[in-house]
Amino acid sequence: MVSEKEKKHSQNISPELNERKSVTLYSLMKKGRMTDAELMNYIDLKSANSASYYRRDLEEQGIIKGYTALVDWKKLGYPTEFLVLIEGRDMETNFNIEKEIVSSLEDYIKTKGDVLILPSGNGRVLIANIMTCFGERPLTLIHGHATSEHDALIYFRYYVAEKFVDAKNSFLTVKGKGIENHFIQESYIDFMKGSFSEEEGLDLPEEFRKHFPSLKPRQKGRKG
């Protein structure tokens, strides 16, 4: 059942929703596959039909657009999650980048399908999101999963950097998520808190070094 704290907080999601609808949405965001009987208990209703009414209402309004599987890609052989940033030097370059990406996606969906899977190195990459971003620094952001860090880097070098030579291209691997799918990750908070040292310098645990190999302990007695 959703706690009183969660019920109250869920009402901040949108002023467009009343309490019942807010709690229904919050519950389905946490567990989209729950039955109406489960949802009834989650939102403290007396019948599954009542829960079904609130679910259908959110669906008919187009607020809930569908239910998708949350996949643990690491268990399917994709342990590396990565980001690629492509930033053109001017608006014309950014336009040409988007034009090239759209053309590539159009060709791929015609010949293979609508899930972009590419061979890379000795493995492959699976692209999760490609986003066009405008603002102070217009850029394209690619988010994906790879069979290894090496395969992710190969993808970046040969699928991105060689194709967009006139752009500033950046490659990053994801090492932790404080928020995922809209929910704060308490396991991440606990992990990070356990990795912080209040003593002078950084006494990094082995598990922390494994996740963040670029961070090195400070020498004792050094400041800043």
Predicted confidence (pLDDT) per residue in 82-115, tens digit:
999 999 988 889 999 999 999 999 999 999 999 9
What are the pLDDT digits (tens) for 125-182? 999 999 999 888 889 999 999 999 999 999 999 999 999 999 999 999 998 999 998 9
What is the CATH number assigned to the segment(s) 73-173? 3.30.70.920
Q: In which residue ranges of the chain is CATH 3.30.70.920 found?
A: 73-173
- From the CB of residue 216, how many other CB atoms can be counted at a distance below 10 Å? 10
User: DSSP secondary-structure letter at 131?
Assistant: E
Return d(Cα 138, Cα 94) in angstroms, integer: 7
For residue 143, give the nearest of 157, 158, 156 by alpha carbon. 156
